[in-house]
Amino acid sequence: MTERGAGALHRGARELAIGPSALRWSGERLELAVDEWAVPLPRRVRGRIQVWPQGLSRFVASLDGEGRHRWGPIAPAARVEVAFDAPRLRWAGHGYLDCNEGDEPIERPFRSWDWSRAQLAGGDTAVLYDVRERSGAERLLALRFARDGRVGEFDAPARRPLPGTLWRVPRQVRAESAPALVRTLEDTPFYVRSELRTRLLGEEVTALHESLEVPRLASPVVQWMLPWRMPRRA
Protein backbone atom coordinates (compact mmCIF):
# COMPACT_ATOMS: atom_id res chain seq x y z
CA MET A 1 0.00 0.00 0.00
CA THR A 2 1.14 3.51 -0.84
CA GLU A 3 -0.28 6.79 0.47
CA ARG A 4 -0.70 9.21 -2.43
CA GLY A 5 -1.76 12.80 -2.94
CA ALA A 6 -5.01 14.10 -4.43
CA GLY A 7 -3.52 14.25 -7.92
CA ALA A 8 -3.24 10.46 -7.98
CA LEU A 9 -6.97 9.98 -7.30
CA HIS A 10 -9.50 9.38 -10.09
CA ARG A 11 -13.10 8.43 -9.38
CA GLY A 12 -16.12 7.56 -11.46
CA ALA A 13 -19.50 5.94 -10.87
CA ARG A 14 -18.01 2.44 -11.13
CA GLU A 15 -14.28 3.00 -10.68
CA LEU A 16 -11.80 4.27 -8.11
CA ALA A 17 -8.13 4.59 -9.13
CA ILE A 18 -5.31 5.57 -6.77
CA GLY A 19 -2.05 5.79 -8.69
CA PRO A 20 -1.54 2.64 -10.78
CA SER A 21 -3.97 0.55 -8.70
CA ALA A 22 -7.73 0.62 -9.21
CA LEU A 23 -11.10 -0.84 -8.20
CA ARG A 24 -13.85 -1.39 -10.77
CA TRP A 25 -17.44 -2.58 -10.27
CA SER A 26 -18.84 -4.56 -13.20
CA GLY A 27 -22.37 -4.88 -11.84
CA GLU A 28 -21.81 -8.39 -10.52
CA ARG A 29 -18.25 -8.36 -9.21
CA LEU A 30 -15.62 -6.00 -7.83
CA GLU A 31 -12.26 -6.21 -9.59
CA LEU A 32 -9.12 -4.89 -7.90
CA ALA A 33 -6.06 -4.31 -10.07
CA VAL A 34 -3.00 -4.02 -7.82
CA ASP A 35 0.27 -2.51 -9.09
CA GLU A 36 2.55 -1.49 -6.23
CA TRP A 37 6.04 -1.92 -4.76
CA ALA A 38 6.73 -3.73 -1.49
CA VAL A 39 8.86 -2.01 1.17
CA PRO A 40 11.38 -1.78 2.77
CA LEU A 41 12.94 -4.23 0.26
CA PRO A 42 11.66 -3.14 -3.18
CA ARG A 43 9.68 -5.89 -4.88
CA ARG A 44 6.80 -5.71 -7.32
CA VAL A 45 3.31 -6.51 -6.05
CA ARG A 46 1.12 -6.87 -9.12
CA GLY A 47 -2.01 -8.85 -9.81
CA ARG A 48 -5.79 -9.02 -9.72
CA ILE A 49 -8.40 -9.78 -7.08
CA GLN A 50 -12.02 -10.45 -8.00
CA VAL A 51 -14.85 -10.38 -5.46
CA TRP A 52 -18.33 -11.77 -6.21
CA PRO A 53 -20.71 -10.67 -3.38
CA GLN A 54 -23.32 -13.23 -2.38
CA GLY A 55 -25.41 -10.31 -1.17
CA LEU A 56 -24.97 -6.56 -0.70
CA SER A 57 -25.73 -4.76 2.56
CA ARG A 58 -26.52 -1.13 3.36
CA PHE A 59 -26.16 -1.69 7.11
CA VAL A 60 -24.07 0.98 8.91
CA ALA A 61 -23.32 1.16 12.65
CA SER A 62 -21.63 3.79 14.82
CA LEU A 63 -18.48 2.65 16.58
CA ASP A 64 -18.28 5.55 19.04
CA GLY A 65 -20.77 7.32 21.26
CA GLU A 66 -20.82 10.49 19.14
CA GLY A 67 -21.43 8.72 15.84
CA ARG A 68 -18.29 10.17 14.25
CA HIS A 69 -16.88 6.77 13.28
CA ARG A 70 -18.92 4.28 11.29
CA TRP A 71 -18.57 0.75 9.96
CA GLY A 72 -20.59 -1.39 7.61
CA PRO A 73 -20.14 -4.61 5.63
CA ILE A 74 -20.65 -4.02 1.92
CA ALA A 75 -20.56 -7.75 1.18
CA PRO A 76 -20.92 -9.82 4.36
CA ALA A 77 -20.10 -12.97 2.35
CA ALA A 78 -18.44 -13.29 -1.04
CA ARG A 79 -16.48 -15.54 -3.37
CA VAL A 80 -12.92 -14.36 -3.98
CA GLU A 81 -10.36 -15.20 -6.67
CA VAL A 82 -6.75 -14.00 -6.44
CA ALA A 83 -4.29 -14.10 -9.36
CA PHE A 84 -0.91 -12.38 -8.92
CA ASP A 85 2.09 -12.39 -11.25
CA ALA A 86 4.39 -10.83 -8.64
CA PRO A 87 4.66 -12.65 -6.37
CA ARG A 88 3.30 -15.65 -8.29
CA LEU A 89 0.16 -16.49 -6.32
CA ARG A 90 -3.19 -18.12 -7.08
CA TRP A 91 -6.05 -19.07 -4.79
CA ALA A 92 -9.85 -18.92 -4.47
CA GLY A 93 -12.18 -19.09 -1.50
CA HIS A 94 -14.80 -17.24 0.51
CA GLY A 95 -14.29 -13.67 1.67
CA TYR A 96 -15.81 -10.47 2.99
CA LEU A 97 -15.76 -6.76 2.15
CA ASP A 98 -16.44 -3.93 4.60
CA CYS A 99 -15.87 -0.20 5.03
CA ASN A 100 -14.78 2.12 7.86
CA GLU A 101 -15.09 5.90 7.80
CA GLY A 102 -14.55 8.68 10.32
CA ASP A 103 -14.94 12.43 10.74
CA GLU A 104 -11.90 12.79 13.03
CA PRO A 105 -8.60 11.01 13.76
CA ILE A 106 -9.06 7.52 15.16
CA GLU A 107 -7.01 8.31 18.29
CA ARG A 108 -9.52 10.87 19.60
CA PRO A 109 -12.29 8.51 20.77
CA PHE A 110 -10.77 5.01 20.80
CA ARG A 111 -8.43 3.11 23.10
CA SER A 112 -8.65 -0.36 21.55
CA TRP A 113 -10.88 -2.86 19.80
CA ASP A 114 -11.14 -6.51 18.86
CA TRP A 115 -12.99 -7.55 15.72
CA SER A 116 -13.77 -10.96 14.28
CA ARG A 117 -15.65 -12.41 11.35
CA ALA A 118 -16.68 -16.06 10.88
CA GLN A 119 -18.67 -17.84 8.20
CA LEU A 120 -21.35 -20.14 9.60
CA ALA A 121 -22.34 -23.53 8.24
CA GLY A 122 -25.45 -22.31 6.43
CA GLY A 123 -23.61 -19.47 4.69
CA ASP A 124 -24.45 -16.70 7.18
CA THR A 125 -21.69 -14.45 8.53
CA ALA A 126 -21.17 -13.58 12.21
CA VAL A 127 -19.32 -10.36 13.06
CA LEU A 128 -18.21 -9.20 16.52
CA TYR A 129 -16.95 -5.64 17.07
CA ASP A 130 -15.77 -5.13 20.66
CA VAL A 131 -14.78 -1.47 21.13
CA ARG A 132 -13.24 0.34 24.12
CA GLU A 133 -13.27 4.14 24.11
CA ARG A 134 -10.80 6.48 25.84
CA SER A 135 -13.65 7.71 28.04
CA GLY A 136 -14.04 4.21 29.49
CA ALA A 137 -17.25 3.52 27.57
CA GLU A 138 -17.56 0.24 25.71
CA ARG A 139 -19.58 -0.65 22.62
CA LEU A 140 -20.33 -4.14 21.38
CA LEU A 141 -21.76 -5.18 18.02
CA ALA A 142 -22.77 -8.85 17.67
CA LEU A 143 -24.37 -9.23 14.26
CA ARG A 144 -25.45 -12.10 12.03
CA PHE A 145 -25.71 -11.36 8.32
CA ALA A 146 -27.70 -13.59 6.01
CA ARG A 147 -26.34 -14.33 2.55
CA ASP A 148 -28.70 -11.78 0.99
CA GLY A 149 -27.47 -9.00 3.34
CA ARG A 150 -30.26 -9.11 5.95
CA VAL A 151 -28.95 -8.55 9.47
CA GLY A 152 -29.94 -9.49 13.02
CA GLU A 153 -28.34 -9.30 16.45
CA PHE A 154 -27.26 -12.17 18.71
CA ASP A 155 -26.12 -12.46 22.32
CA ALA A 156 -22.34 -12.23 22.38
CA PRO A 157 -20.44 -14.70 24.58
CA ALA A 158 -17.84 -13.67 27.15
CA ARG A 159 -14.37 -12.39 26.30
CA ARG A 160 -11.62 -14.98 26.23
CA PRO A 161 -7.90 -14.20 26.09
CA LEU A 162 -5.61 -15.09 23.21
CA PRO A 163 -1.85 -15.75 23.41
CA GLY A 164 0.49 -12.75 23.47
CA THR A 165 2.31 -11.49 20.38
CA LEU A 166 5.88 -10.59 19.54
CA TRP A 167 5.04 -6.92 20.14
CA ARG A 168 2.97 -7.76 23.24
CA VAL A 169 -0.29 -6.41 21.80
CA PRO A 170 -3.15 -7.66 24.03
CA ARG A 171 -5.84 -9.56 22.14
CA GLN A 172 -9.04 -11.27 23.12
CA VAL A 173 -12.11 -12.69 21.42
CA ARG A 174 -15.70 -13.35 22.41
CA ALA A 175 -16.27 -17.10 22.15
CA GLU A 176 -18.37 -19.87 23.69
CA SER A 177 -15.29 -21.95 24.56
CA ALA A 178 -11.52 -21.52 24.72
CA PRO A 179 -10.34 -20.42 21.25
CA ALA A 180 -7.40 -22.02 19.45
CA LEU A 181 -4.91 -19.79 17.64
CA VAL A 182 -4.26 -21.28 14.19
CA ARG A 183 -1.74 -18.68 13.04
CA THR A 184 -0.87 -15.03 13.37
CA LEU A 185 -1.04 -13.41 9.94
CA GLU A 186 0.22 -9.93 10.83
CA ASP A 187 2.04 -8.80 13.98
CA THR A 188 2.93 -5.12 14.34
CA PRO A 189 3.55 -2.79 17.31
CA PHE A 190 -0.11 -1.67 17.28
CA TYR A 191 -2.12 -4.19 15.22
CA VAL A 192 -2.47 -7.98 15.05
CA ARG A 193 -4.43 -10.10 12.57
CA SER A 194 -4.97 -13.79 13.30
CA GLU A 195 -6.79 -16.93 12.22
CA LEU A 196 -8.68 -18.72 15.00
CA ARG A 197 -10.64 -21.88 15.60
CA THR A 198 -13.46 -21.01 17.97
CA ARG A 199 -17.07 -21.76 18.91
CA LEU A 200 -19.82 -19.27 18.11
CA LEU A 201 -23.61 -19.59 17.86
CA GLY A 202 -23.31 -23.27 18.68
CA GLU A 203 -20.90 -24.00 15.83
CA GLU A 204 -17.20 -24.74 15.53
CA VAL A 205 -15.95 -22.05 13.16
CA THR A 206 -12.80 -20.61 11.65
CA ALA A 207 -12.63 -16.88 12.32
CA LEU A 208 -10.49 -14.02 11.11
CA HIS A 209 -9.61 -11.79 14.07
CA GLU A 210 -7.92 -8.44 14.59
CA SER A 211 -6.81 -6.42 17.60
CA LEU A 212 -5.91 -2.73 17.53
CA GLU A 213 -4.17 -0.67 20.24
CA VAL A 214 -4.82 2.94 19.26
CA PRO A 215 -2.41 4.73 21.69
CA ARG A 216 0.43 2.69 20.17
CA LEU A 217 -0.64 3.68 16.66
CA ALA A 218 -0.62 7.36 17.65
CA SER A 219 2.76 7.21 19.41
CA PRO A 220 5.58 9.28 17.80
CA VAL A 221 7.79 6.20 17.41
CA VAL A 222 5.18 4.26 15.43
CA GLN A 223 4.28 7.30 13.36
CA TRP A 224 7.96 7.62 12.46
CA MET A 225 8.06 3.93 11.48
CA LEU A 226 4.90 3.88 9.33
CA PRO A 227 6.40 5.40 6.14
CA TRP A 228 8.90 2.53 6.04
CA ARG A 229 5.96 0.12 5.66
CA MET A 230 3.60 2.44 3.76
CA PRO A 231 5.53 4.96 1.62
CA ARG A 232 4.03 8.36 0.89
CA ARG A 233 4.16 9.90 -2.55
CA ALA A 234 2.75 13.14 -3.95
Q: Which residues contact 186 (CB under 8 A, 6 or more apart)?
A: 192, 193
Share of the chain above pLDDT 90, in %: 91
Q: What is the pLDDT of residue 12?
A: 97
pLDDT per position as a tens digit, 62-109:
999 999 999 999 999 999 999 999 999 999 999 999 999 999 999 999
Q: What is the pLDDT of residue 81?
A: 98
Asked whether the whole model's pTM tops 0.85, one would answer yes
Q: Which residues contact 23 (CB under 8 A, 6 or more apart)?
A: 15, 16, 17, 30, 31, 32, 33
The pLDDT of 168-188, averaged and rounded, is 96
Residues in the chain: 234
Residue 140 has pLDDT above 90, yes or no: yes
Residue 32 has pLDDT above 80, yes or no: yes
Q: What is the 3-state secondary structure (H, E, C) of 81-140?
A: EEEEEECCEEEEEEEEEEEEEECCCCCCCEEEEEEEEEECCCCCEEEEEEEEECCCCEEE
Q: What is the pLDDT of residue 117?
A: 97
